Structures are given as C-alpha cells and as structure tokens.
Amino acid sequence: MPEMAKGYWIVRVDVSDAEAYKAYAAANGAAFARFGGRFLVRGGAFEAVAGQARARNVIVEFPSYEDALACWHSDLYQSARALQKGGAEADILVIEGYDGPQPVVSEPAPTPGAASE
C-alpha cells in the first residue's frame, strides 16, 4: 500500500508582542505532539530572494495532510493560538506534500560562471 503524502504548515510571522508569542509557542507543542507534528524549520537564518519576507519562518511536518488540518482545527491548537492575543501577524498555509516522481538528471548541471569549452 502506498504511503500517504505528508502534510505541512508553512508559517511566516512578524511578532509584535514577544511575551504573548512566547506564551503561544510554549503551549502549541501539545497540539503538535498530539497530531504527530515536528518542526523542520523554527526561526533560523534566511534570505528573501524573491517576494516579501516576514521576520520569522516556521515549517511543521505532519504524518499526513489530514493530520495537519486536524491539528489546525483542534481545540487544543486553537486554545494555544488564542494566547497570542494579536501579538503576531502571520501567513499560514496547510499544504499537502508531494509524494510523486522526482526529476532525473542525466548529466551534471553546468556550474554558474564556469567557462564553456
């Protein structure tokens, strides 16, 4: 039986109230744990190479898209989210991962800036 594609939260955040955001961050782990979520990205260095950036980025992986959605809609997560009390503005996507074939490279890609022969 084929494995289901994983689910993800892709979150971009600007924090305006650090204390409210800390309370939220301390409480959201229980919901993530209940639905099998784990952090792949939680802050860290980044460079916005196109488009608008926010100050903080988070990616949470779940066993399935359904688990990712169930976590978002759960009372446990919504209770944690309420602790922010407007302390952050965020763009949040719940998205299904891709589980299909990947591109095949038959020869190495050219190195940028390398002289051609």
Q: What is the pLDDT of residue 89?
A: 94
pLDDT digits (tens, 9 = 90+) for 63-102: 999 999 999 999 999 999 999 888 999 999 999 999 888 8
Mean pLDDT in residue range 25-29: 94
What residue ranges do the domains of the chain occupy?
A: 7-96
Got the DSSP string for 41-79?
EES------SS---SEEEEEEESSHHHHHHHHHSHHHHH
Residue 5 has pLDDT above 60, yes or no: yes
In CATH terms, 7-96 corresponds, of 3.40.50.10420, 3.40.50.300, 3.40.50.740, 3.30.70.100, to 3.30.70.100
pLDDT digits (tens, 9 = 90+) for 50-69: 999 999 999 999 999 999 99
Cα separation, 37 vs 67, whole angstroms:
8
Q: What is the mean pLDDT of the chain?
A: 92
